[in-house]
C-alpha cells in the first residue's frame, strides 16, 4: 500500500527534493574550497529541471549546467539572478546572441565557436564570459591539442573572451584505479598552461570521489544528485531520490504451462497468479527487463514474467498473500527494495539510462518542496 492515489490510472513517480538537496550538500562537503555546481541537462535527468533547480538554489547552489541552449533558456527563470548557467555544447551557429539575451555562459569547444563568440564581443564592444573546454582523452567535445597550439601561436583569437574557467571531462572516473584518470589529470594540467590563467573544472559526479587533486575550483555533479552510485563496486553514500510505484490494474490466475506476454517467452511452471501494471517501455521501463527484473509488493519480491509491452508489464504475484492484492495494491518498480542502479543492472544498462528514460505519462509527486529561491538584481562573481 502507498500513501497516494492511483485515481488517474497511471504509475506514480515520486521525486524526493529533500534527498536531492542532501546529496548536493554531501558532495559539497567533500570539497576543500571548490564550488559545487549541478548538472541539470536532459530536464534534470528527466526529473524536472525547474523543480530540481529551485530545490538546489534553496540549498545554496549557484552554478548550473545544461547541455543545450534551449534547456538553459528554459532553466534561467528558475535560478537566482546571481547564479551562472553554463551550456556545455556552446553556441549553435548563428545563435551566439541568444546567450546574451538570456544571461547564459557558453562552453566553447572549437575554434569556430571561439570565433563566433569573439565576433559578438566586437559587436558588443566588450569582453564576454565563456568557459573553454579542452579534450584530455574523451575524443568528444573540446579543443584539441592542435587547436590549443594555434591559440597559443595566435593569442588574438581569444581577444574579447573573458575566460570564466577551463574545463575537461573524465572518461573513467567511476573506476578509481583506471589509469585513464591520472593520465587525463596530467594532460589537463599541461593543456591549461597553454591558455589564459583561469579557474578550472574537471570532476563531475564520480570525479569528486577521486580526491582533492581532481576538484580544482568547481565540480559538476549530475547523476550523483539523483542517487546514482558514483563509484563502481562500492557502497552508495548517496540518498535515493526517486521511487516508482505502479498500480495493479488486473490479476488473473493461469494454469501450469500457460504463457504470458508477446512472443510467449514465459510459461508458468505451476498454477500462477499474474498481475498487470501500467508501465512499459514507452514509460522508460525498458523492454530488456523482460523475464529478468523483479518488483516488490509489501517487501515480497515478485518476478517480472514475459516481455515488457509498450504500456504494460506483468508480474508473478503468486507468493503474495491474497489480502495484499486489494483494489489499492501496487508494485514497487524502483524504491527502497530496488535502486535505480540495481534495476539498470538487470536491464544490462546504467542508472543514467533508466533515469533519463522515465516517461512523461507517470503521475509525478514531489516531496519536500523547497522554499522560493533567493534572488538578487546583479550578478556576483560566483568563482570568488
pLDDT in tens, 179-200: 999 999 999 999 999 999 999 9
Q: What is the pLDDT of residue 374?
A: 45
pLDDT tens figures, 96-123: 999 999 999 999 999 999 999 999 999 9
Q: Where are the beta strands (DSSP E) in the chain?
A: 12-16, 35-36, 38-39, 63-66, 84-87, 105-108, 128-133, 161-167, 200-201, 218-219, 242-247, 250-254, 259-260, 266-267, 272-277, 294-297, 300-303, 313-316, 330-334, 363-367
296 is catalytic: no
Beta-sheet pairing, 242-247 with 12-16: antiparallel
Contacts of 67 (CB under 8 A, 6+ apart): 41, 42, 87, 88, 89
Per DSSP bridges, beta strands 363-367 and 12-16 are parallel
pLDDT of residue 382: 45
Known binding residues: 140, 310
Three-state DSSP state, 307: coil
330 within 8 A of 245, measured Cβ to Cβ: yes
pLDDT of residue 368: 84
The binding site for substrate comprises 140, 310
SS3 state of residue 270 = coil
Measured CA to CA in angstroms, residue 43 lies from 39, 222, 294, 310, 365 at distances of: 10, 11, 28, 23, 16
> Is the C-alpha dihedral spanning 345, 347, 350, 355 positive or negative?
negative
Location of C-alpha cell 591539442: 145
d(CA 384, CA 373): 21
Q: What is the DSSP letter of 158?
A: G
Which CATH entry fits the domain spanning 242-338: 3.90.740.10, 3.30.360.10, 2.40.37.10, 3.40.50.2000? 2.40.37.10
Q: Is 379 a catalytic residue?
A: no
Catalytic residue among 45, 214, 226, 262: 262
The yes or no reply on domain 17-225 and CATH 2.40.110.10 is no
Question: CA-CA distance, 260 to 250, in Å (whole number)?
Answer: 14
Q: Which of 6, 41, 296, 362 is catalytic?
A: 41
CA distance 55 to 38: 11
Q: Where are the domains of the chain?
A: 17-225, 242-338
- First-to-last alpha carbon distance for the chain, in angstroms, is 50
384 residues of the chain, pLDDT tens digit each: 345 555 567 899 999 999 999 999 999 999 989 999 999 999 999 999 999 999 999 999 999 999 999 999 999 999 999 999 999 999 999 999 999 999 999 999 999 999 999 999 999 999 999 999 999 999 999 999 999 999 999 999 999 999 999 999 999 999 999 999 999 999 999 999 999 999 999 999 999 999 999 999 999 999 999 999 999 999 999 999 999 999 999 999 999 999 999 999 999 999 999 999 999 999 999 999 999 999 999 999 999 999 999 999 999 999 999 999 998 999 999 999 999 999 999 999 999 999 999 988 999 999 985 554 444 433 444 454
Amino acid at each position: 500500500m502507498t500513501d497516494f492515489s492511483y485515481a488517474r490510472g497511471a504509475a506514480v513517480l515520486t521525486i524526493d527534493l529533500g534527498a536531492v538537496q542532501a546529496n548536493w550538500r554531501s558532495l559539497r562537503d567533500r570539497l576543500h574550497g571548490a564550488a559545487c555546481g549541478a548538472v541539470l541537462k536532459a530536464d534534470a535527468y528527466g526529473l524536472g529541471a525547474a523543480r530540481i533547480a529551485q530545490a538546489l538554489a534553496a540549498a545554496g547552489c549557484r552554478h548550473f549546467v545544461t547541455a543545450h541552449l534551449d534547456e538553459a533558456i528554459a532553466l534561467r527563470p528558475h535560478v537566482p539572478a546571481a547564479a551562472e548557467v553554463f551550456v556545455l555544447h556552446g553556441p549553435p551557429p548563428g545563435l551566439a546572441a541568444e546567450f546574451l539575451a538570456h544571461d547564459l555562459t557558453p562552453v566553447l569547444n572549437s575554434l569556430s565557436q571561439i570565433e563566433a563568440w569573439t565576433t559578438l564581443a566586437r559587436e558588443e564592444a566588450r569582453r564576454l564570459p565563456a568557459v573553454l573546454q579542452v579534450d584530455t582523452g574523451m575524443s568528444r567535445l573540446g579543443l584539441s591539442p592542435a587547436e590549443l597550439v594555434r591559440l597559443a601561436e595566435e593569442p588574438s583569437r581569444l581577444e574579447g573572451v573573458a575566460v570564466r574557467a577551463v574545463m575537461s571531462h573524465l572518461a573513467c572516473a567511476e573506476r578509481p584505479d583506471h589509469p585513464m584518470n591520472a593520465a587525463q589529470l596530467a594532460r589537463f594540467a599541461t593543456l591549461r598552461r597553454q591558455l589564459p590563467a583561469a579557474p578550472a573544472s574537471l570532476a563531475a559526479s564520480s570525479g569528486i570521489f577521486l580526491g582533492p587533486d581532481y576538484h580544482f575550483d568547481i565540480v559538476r555533479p549530475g547523476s550523483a544528485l539523483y542517487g546514482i552510485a558514483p563509484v563502481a563496486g562500492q557502497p552508495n553514500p548517496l540518498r535515493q531520490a526517486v521511487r516508482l510505484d505502479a498500480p495493479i490494474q488486473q490479476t488473473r490466475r493461469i494454469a501450469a504451462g500457460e504463457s504470458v506476454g508477446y512472443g510467449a517467452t514465459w510459461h508458468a511452471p505451476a498454477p500462477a497468479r499474474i498481475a498487470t501494471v501500467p508501465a512499459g517501455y514507452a514509460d522508460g521501463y525498458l523492454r530488456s527487463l523482460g523475464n529478468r527484473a523483479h518488483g516488490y509488493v509489501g517487501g515480497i519480491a515478485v518476478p517480472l514474467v514475459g516481455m515488457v509491452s509498450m504500456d504494460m508489464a506483468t508480474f508473478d504475484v503468486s507468493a503474495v498473500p491474497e489480502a495484499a492484492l486489494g483494489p489499492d495494491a501496487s508494485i514497487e518498480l524502483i524504491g527502497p527494495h530496488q535502486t535505480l542502479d540495481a534495476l539498470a543492472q538487470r536491464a544490462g544498462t546504467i542508472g543514467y539510462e533508466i533515469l533519463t528514460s522515465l516517461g512523461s505519462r507517470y503521475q509525478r509527486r514531489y516531496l519536500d518542496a523547497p522554499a522560493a529561491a533567493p534572488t538578487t538584481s546583479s550578478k556576483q562573481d560566483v568563482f570568488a
